[in-house]
Structures are given as C-alpha cells and as structure tokens.
A and B are shown apart, each in its own frame.
Chain A
Amino acid sequence: DVKVTQSSRYLVKRTGEKVFLECVQDMDHENMFWYRQDPGLGLRLIYFSYDVKMKEKGDIPEGYSVSREKKERFSLILESASTNQTSMYLCASSLSLGVETQYFGPGTRLLVL
C-alpha cells in the first residue's frame, strides 16, 4: 500500500523560528511536491522535486526552501517563520510529472505565533 508520511500533524512555532517539515514516501517515486492549503485559496504549489538534489519553484516559493538529499525524503524549510505562513502543509509524491496520480500525506497544520 502506498504511503506518504509527514513528520508532524500539528506544529506550533514562534515568529522568526526556523521550521523543518519532513515528508517521506515509500513508493520509490521520482517526484515530490509541497503544497499549502488555505481556506478560499485552495491548494497552492510551493516547490517540487523531480530527482534527488533537484528542485523547482512552484507558484508561491517566497519564504520557503526545500531539500532532497535522498529519493524518499523531501523537506520544506521555513527559514524565518512568519504569521502569514500559518497554514496546512501537504506533501505529495508521484511516479512522474503531470499525468500520474499524486499521493498525498496527511498534512501538517502549522501555527506561527
């Protein structure tokens, strides 16, 4: 059974803190994605990676960075958390870009105070 796991379901951080969100997939997928989901705005792509050490900006990369040192793991980093980064963060993976089904993790609800 396919599985995408995220390191935390809920996270509370202070403004200015460095925040790491981790995602692991066990399907040997090439591609991994980070989205944020906000009421009224839907799912928005932050970054994606199509190979180890490769990354591409999505629609809203500002204030975020990513790291993919191993195929199964994709990390989202908030260098200096701000209150407007309070959101639900969803990680996904797929076999290839575009066509293929994306498998999502359960999400991390981040609150920045």
Chain B
Amino acid sequence: SQKIEQNSEALNIQEGKTATLTCNYTNYSPAYLQWYRQDPGRGPVFLLLIRENEKEKRKERLKVTFDTTLKQSLFHITASQPADSATYLCALVGSGYSTLTFGKGTMLLVSP
C-alpha cells in the first residue's frame, strides 16, 4: 500500500543551525510534492512545491530536494529561528493529478 513517512519524533535544534526534515514514500509515483507548515491549533500553510523533474527548489531560507530514485524529499531551513518552530507536513500529488495525500508531519523545535 502507499505510504508517506515523516519522522514522528520531534527535531530539536539550536537557533542558527540548519534544520533538515525528511519525507520518504513507498508505492507511489508522485508528480509533485508539497511542503506545508502547521502551527498548533491552526490550519496548514503552503510553503513550497517541487515537481518530479526538479532536483531542488529554494525560497529564502527554505530549500527542498526531491529524489525520485531514493523516493525521498528533504526540507531544509537554514539559519533557523525560534519562530520556525512548528510541525512540517509533506504532501504528495499522484501522476493522475488527484488529491493530495499528507504525511503525519514532523515537529521542529528551535531553541534560542
């Protein structure tokens, strides 16, 4: 069956370091992958989209990579700040352009 896996354990890092979050998938051939941020008690907010033919995408301090051979996406936040503390969700779009399937998310905690 199709599976999207994100590290269920919270990632704790110090301010100024680079945070790297992982999204692995199996039995899936996604055409696109999206990353969202979710703060407690709020709805997810879109951050970045990367297509299967793109290796890397950047937006300010954010960088996403997409390796369809490894079936993995990495999400990096450079020069992390306490305000980056949140849960980050990856979401996959199938090649049939159907709905999104979300991972369970990884909580990031950035300490001052």
Contacts and interface: CB of A to CB of B under 8 A. Distances in A.
Contacts, number: 57
Interface residues of B, number: 24
Nearest to B104: A42
Q: Is the interface of B mostly helix, strand, loop or mixed?
A: loop
A98 B94 contact: yes
Contacts of A110: none
Interface stretch (A13-21, A60-68, A78-86, A101-109): A101-109
Nearest to B95: A98
Interface residues of A, number: 23
Contacts of A96: 97
Interface of B: 31-32, 34, 41-46, 49, 89, 91, 93-94, 96-105
B41 A102 contact: no
B43 A105 contact: yes
Interface of A: 4, 33, 40-43, 45, 48, 58, 90, 92, 96-99, 101-107, 109
